[in-house]
């Protein structure tokens, strides 16, 4: 379980030499990226002060200009790669129960939508989540977040959406807020009350959404529980027409918007573009029309390969999105239904192999481009004053990381300049 919360170091820290340090800075937000467009610093050092990046440069130079009495030197003895902490910009980590039965049913030929109509799917998790206490939900979040941290995720977005009533959505968002005390990664909450029309609400989708926006939105603002509103635009969930007034209201109150879009049918990405959403996520069935719309907008296209792997369906057309000039992030969508695996690096590496993404495109999608999907400017790159969220992998070349498709885990994880995780297996097996 979680180790004690890190104590911030009061002295500057110099870490190195890295065989390769990938600062992910100075990288454009949109379009394709060749590996040679990504800065790679060899024999580099990283200087951290007050939990933030102070400077990067040749290790020997940084060491000779700082005295050991002023700066703590951390010397890396083996070949190491340094990367900014990963940002998982789309998860449903707050839930109770298992949907292993759905998975087995899908693999015996039933579709996600058929299972949902028969009473399984999202509604099954809603029932189990409503039956869980706020404390149980918080404990589930902490355990899952810890595993993500060990896999290199230092910022985690978490959605509600398995409560589907004001009271139960509030319980989920309070559980996420409570989890901030025990979780090392930064948690970014999102209200997904528009996940599906609750089965026990008889007045229809429009009245449901109106009640949520009139009554729950002001509470979210007043208690600072979420600054982001998400909606699942899909047949069997909400139509673009249902969502328009809901998003109007959210936007007028200053919420950021994001959309579950084009997962099984198109329609959602157009709403995302129309409302200037921060991101449109899923996009498995986006056609050239939607890809063009997204590429011409400011919306970040977030691929969720974990959902394709969980459902056994095609991947988001990530290559086409980049080639059209779009901005691509990759997130895990970790949830009990469509994406139970929750291993972001594995999923990103596999997406890269199927969609022909360069290492630069994959790493940008996990760091600097993912930070834009959450509207965060202080992370995802080693630029001066950004958070010192650092992953150290034991390898001589950054290509080793994706080549191992997620089985080469970080050796060490730093959050805001403090060492928060070290992989014991790396010592045992000397990888
Ligand atoms: O992002 N698509 C809608 N929502 C989730 C799945 C939720 C569930 O099946 O529990 C997703 O895939
Ligand atoms: Fe999702």
Neighbouring-strand partners of residue 258: 230, 279
Residues ≥6 apart with Cβ < 8 Å to 297:
272, 273, 276
CB contact set of 28 (below 8 Å; sequence gap of 6+): none
**Contacts of 66 by beta carbon, 8 Å cutoff, 6+ apart:** 12, 14, 47, 73
Query: What is the tens place of the pLDDT at every residue in 59-81?
Result: 999 999 888 788 999 999 899 99
For position 426, what pLDDT does the model report?
78
Residue 319: CB atoms within 10 Å? 18
- Cβ atoms of 160 and 191 within 8 Å: the answer is yes
What's the CA gap between 370 and 361, in Å, rounded?
Answer: 11
The predicted model gives 119-127 an average pLDDT of 94
Q: Which of 260, 265, 340, 341 gets mutated to test ligand 1 (max ligand atoms within 8 A of its CB)?
A: 260
pLDDT at 193 > cutoff 90: yes
Q: Which ligand is nearest to the CA of 335?
A: 1
CA–centroid distance, 56 to ligand 2, in Å, is: 36
**CB–CB of 361/31 below 8 Å?**
no
Section 233-256 average pLDDT: 98
Distance CA 370, CA 366 (A): 5
Cα Rg of the chain (Å, integer): 21
How much is the average pLDDT of 217-221?
98
Average pLDDT value for the chain = 95
For residues 234 and 259, the answer to whether their CB atoms sit within 8 Å is no
Q: Is the pLDDT of residue 1 over 50?
A: no
Q: To 5 degrees, how large is the angle CA 262–CA 263–CA 267?
A: 25
Q: Which residue's CA lies nearest to atom 9 of ligand 1?
A: 337
Helix (H, G, I), strand (E, B), or coil: what is residue 287? coil
- Crossing angle of helices 240-252/204-211, nearest 10°? 10
pLDDT confidence tier of residue 430, bands split at 50, 70 and 90? low
Residue 126: pLDDT band with limits 50, 70, 90: very high
Q: What is the mean pLDDT of residues 108-129?
A: 94
In the block, residue with structure tokens 């109509």: 117
Cα(229) to ligand 2 centroid in Å equals 13
**Looking at residue 424, what is its pLDDT?**
86
pLDDT at 410: 97
To test the ligand 1 pocket, which listed residue (113, 336, 339, 347) has its Cβ within 8 A of the most ligand atoms? 339
8 Å CB contact between 289 and 261 = no
311-326: pLDDT as tens digits: 999 999 999 999 999 9
- pLDDT reading at 3 higher than 50: no
What is the rounded distance in angstroms from the CA atom of residue 102 to the CA atom of residue 125?
11
In angstroms, rounded to a whole number, what is the distance separating the alpha carbons of residues 324 and 132?
Answer: 44
User: Residue 141: helix, strand or coil by DSSP?
Assistant: helix
CA 42 – CA 22 distance, rounded (Å): 9
Who contacts 166 (Cβ-Cβ below 8 Å, separation ≥6)? 193, 211, 212, 215, 216, 219
Cα(143)–Cα(184) distance, integer angstroms: 11
Tens of pLDDT, residue by residue over 132-149, are 999 999 999 999 999 999
Predicted confidence (pLDDT) at residue 10 exceeds the cutoff of 80 = no
Q: What is the pLDDT of residue 9?
A: 59
Of all protein residues, whose CA lies closest to atom 1 belonging to ligand 1?
333
Sign of CA dihedral 161, 163, 164, 166: negative
- What token pair was written down for 300? 């970040």
Q: How many residues does the chain have?
A: 431
Contact (Cβ atoms closer than 8 angstroms) between residue 317 and residue 286 = yes
Q: What is the pLDDT of residues 313-368, one digit of tens each?
A: 999 999 999 999 999 999 999 999 999 999 999 999 999 999 999 999 999 999 99
Any residues with Cβ below 6 Å from ligand 1, and which?
A: 92, 121-122, 125, 232, 260, 263, 307, 333, 335-339
What is the distance in angstroms between the CA of the first residue and the CA of the last residue of the chain?
24
- Atom 6 of ligand 1, nearest CA residue: 338
- Give the nearest ligand 1 atom to 192 CA: 4
The residue written with tokens 């440069």 in the block is 57
Q: How far is the CA of 333 from the centre of ligand 2 (A)?
A: 5
Q: What is the pLDDT of residue 265?
A: 98
The two beta strands, 228-232 and 186-194, are parallel
Distance CA(180)–CA(201), nearest Å, equals 31
The whole-number pLDDT of residue 372 equals 98
Please report which confidence band the pLDDT of residue 7 belongs to, taking 50, 70 and 90 as the band edges.
Answer: very low
> Residue 268 CA to chain centroid, in angstroms?
20
Ligand that lies nearest to the alpha carbon of residue 309, given by its number in the listed order:
1
- The three-class DSSP label of residue 7 is coil
Query: Is residue 70 within 8 Å of residue 386, measured between CB atoms?
Result: no
Do the beta carbons of residue 144 and residue 187 sit within 8 Å? no
- Cα 80 to ligand 2 centroid, rounded to whole Å: 34
Distance CA 373, CA 389 (A): 18
The answer on pLDDT for 278 being more than 60 is yes
Residue 189 CB-half CA count within 13 A: 26
pLDDT band at 370 (very low <50, low <70, confident <90, very high): very high
Of 96, 122, 160, which is best to mutate to test ligand 1, by the most ligand atoms within 8 angstroms of its C-beta?
Answer: 122
Are 388 and 398 within 8 A, CB to CB?
no
Cα(328) to ligand 1 centroid in Å equals 20
Dist. CA 302–CA 285, nearest whole Å: 13
Task: Supply the pLDDT for residue 66.
Answer: 85
**Atom 12 (ligand 1) nearest CA:** 338
């Amino acid at each position: 379980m979680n180790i004690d919360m890190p104590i911030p170091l009061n002295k500057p820290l110099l870490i190195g030499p890295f065989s390769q340090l990938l600062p992910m800075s100075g990288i454009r937000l949109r379009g394709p990226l060749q590996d040679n467009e990504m800065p790679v610093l060899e024999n580099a050092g990283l200087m951290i002060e007050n939990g933030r990046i102070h400077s990067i440069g040749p290790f020997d130079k940084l060491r000779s200009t700082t005295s050991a009495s002023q700066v703590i030197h951390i010397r890396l003895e083996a070949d190491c790669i340094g990367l900014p902490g990963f940002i998982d910009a789309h998860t449903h980590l707050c839930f109770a129960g298992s949907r292993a039965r759905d998975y087995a049913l899908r693999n015996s030929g039933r579709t996600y939508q058929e299972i949902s109509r028969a009473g399984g799917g999202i509604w099954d998790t809603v029932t189990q989540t409503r039956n869980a206490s706020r404390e149980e939900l918080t404990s589930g979040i902490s355990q899952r977040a810890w595993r993500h941290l060990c896999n290199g995720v230092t910022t985690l977005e978490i959605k509600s959406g398995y409560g589907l009533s004001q009271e139960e959505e509030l319980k989920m968002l309070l559980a996420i807020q409570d989890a901030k005390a025990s979780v090392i990664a930064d948690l970014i909450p999102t209200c997904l009350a528009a996940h599906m029309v609750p089965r026990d609400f008889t007045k229809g989708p429009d009245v449901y959404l109106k009640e949520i926006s009139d009554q729950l939105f002001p509470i979210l603002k007043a208690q600072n529980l979420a600054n982001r509103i998400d909606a699942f635009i899909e047949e069997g969930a909400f139509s673009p027409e249902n969502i328009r007034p809901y998003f109007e209201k959210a936007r007028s109150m200053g919420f950021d918007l994001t959309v579950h879009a084009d997962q099984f049918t198109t329609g959602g990405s157009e709403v995302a573009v129309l409302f200037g959403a921060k991101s449109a996520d899923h996009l498995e069935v986006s056609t050239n029309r939607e890809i063009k719309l997204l590429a011409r907008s400011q919306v970040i296209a977030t691929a969720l390969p974990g959902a394709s792997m969980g459902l056994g369906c095609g991947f988001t057309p990530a290559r086409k999105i980049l080639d059209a000039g779009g901005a691509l992030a990759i997130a895990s969508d970790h949830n009990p239904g469509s994406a139970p695996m929750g291993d972001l690096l594995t999923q990103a590496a596999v997406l890269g192999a199927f969609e022909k993404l360069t290492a630069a495109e994959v790493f940008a999608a996990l760091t600097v481009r993912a930070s834009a999907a959450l509207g965060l400017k202080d992370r995802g790159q080693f630029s001066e004053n950004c958070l010192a969220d650092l992953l150290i992998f034991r390898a001589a070349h950054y290509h080793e990381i994706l080549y191992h498709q997620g089985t080469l885990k970080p050796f060490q994880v730093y959050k805001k300049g403090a060492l928060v995780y070290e992989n014991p297996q790396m010592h045992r097996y000397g990888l």
